[in-house]
């Protein structure tokens, strides 16, 4: 694990690390914000994992969301991985919604994607194991994300009872098996068996989730993708039917951008901090 960026930020350090991922078969970068509390002797802090959306890498969240201020206030480490495998040997596709920058946090089973596109295992298992071995963290974890990353955060939490203390999302793709972004990506990465797709669909998973971890979602009312790609009402209906706690906050006027995330990320950090420090 090699540190390639190191910048002072709100009394702590905004770093970027590079490592060789065995799961993905390529070199990956990920961002880490260490708040000032991490400098204390023997300090071990909780971690919030942030999963970004389509076209993003580890830089978007750390440069646009303004989350470091709140992480420093609450004493929470932020870890933000890339959104897909990278490198000359990694398959890609034309367009922004498949291939590099669009890993969709699944374990691909179809060719040519299966060798490298295993982002689910990377963000749920490999990256946390590395972080917990090399950085001043303990085993208290929470997870959040935006759009495709919101989908990834919800799926990771719903599929792994007890692994995360809390979960939240901004503008998540809640039902990828029912919208164009998800149908395109899942058809490519997972093949034509639509039943197999349900393992990565929060609306399907919430119906039988073994842990009733409360879901917190903020959704912009002015989001250009609201009715075609996001459709939060589908998750809301499934959660109500299953008795799964869900707070869906519609924010009038806000779009799909990081202006939206920056406006409410402080509330999400406070939500996670309460769960992580309980």
**Residues with catalytic annotation?**
147, 223, 256
Residues 6 or more apart whose CB falls under 8 angstroms from that of 179 comprise 173, 228, 229, 230, 231
Tracing tokens 């300090």 back to the chain, one arrives at: 43
- How many helices and strands, by DSSP H and E, does the chain display? 10, 9
Q: What's the Cα-to-Cα distance from 248 to each of 171, 174, 217, rounded to whole Å?
A: 10, 12, 5
φ and ψ at 147, to 5 degrees? Answer: 60, -115
Is residue 4 packed enough to be buried (19+ CB in 10 Å), middle (13-18) or exposed (0-12)? exposed
User: Distance between CA atoms of 235 and 198, rounded to whole angstroms?
Assistant: 13
User: Distance between CA atoms of 204 and 13, rounded to whole angstroms?
Assistant: 39
Give which of 126, 162, 136 is closest to 30, Cα–Cα: 126
Whether residue 67 is preceded by a cis peptide bond, meaning omega within 30 degrees of 0, is no
Strands, E assignment, 85-205: 137-145, 167-170
User: Distance between CA atoms of 202 and 152, rounded to whole angstroms?
Assistant: 9
Q: Are 69 and 164 in contact (CB under 8 A)?
A: no
């Amino acid at each position: 694990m090699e540190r390639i960026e190191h910048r002072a930020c709100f009394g702590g350090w905004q770093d970027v690390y590079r490592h060789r991922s065995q799961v993905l078969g390529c070199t990956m970068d990920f961002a880490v914000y260490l708040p000032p509390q991490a400098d204390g002797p023997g300090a071990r802090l909780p971690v919030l994992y942030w999963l970004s959306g389509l076209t993003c890498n580890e830089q978007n969240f750390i440069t646009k969301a303004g989350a470091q201020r709140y992480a420093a206030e609450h004493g929470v480490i932020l870890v933000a991985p890339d959104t897909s495998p990278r490198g000359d040997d990694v398959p890609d596709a034309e367009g922004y919604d498949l291939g590099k920058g669009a890993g969709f946090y699944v374990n691909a089973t179809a060719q040519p994607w299966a060798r490298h596109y295993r982002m689910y295992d990377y963000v749920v298992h490999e990256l946390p194991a590395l972080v917990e071995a090399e950085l001043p963290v303990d085993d208290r974890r929470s997870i959040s994300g935006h759009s495709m990353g919101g989908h990834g955060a919800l799926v990771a939490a719903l599929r792994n009872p007890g692994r995360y203390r809390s979960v939240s999302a901004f503008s998540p793709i809640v039902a990828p098996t029912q919208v164009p972004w998800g149908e395109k990506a899942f058809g490519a990465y997972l093949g034509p068996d639509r039943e197999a797709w349900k393992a990565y669909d929060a609306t399907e998973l919430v119906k039988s989730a073994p842990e009733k971890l409360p879901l917190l979602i903020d959704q912009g009312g002015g989001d250009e993708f609201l009715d075609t790609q996001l459709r939060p009402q589908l998750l809301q209906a499934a959660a109500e039917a299953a008795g799964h706690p869900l707070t869906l906050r519609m924010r009038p006027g806000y779009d799909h951008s990081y202006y939206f995330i920056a406006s409410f990320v402080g509330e999400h950090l406070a939500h996670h901090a309460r769960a992580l420090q309980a």
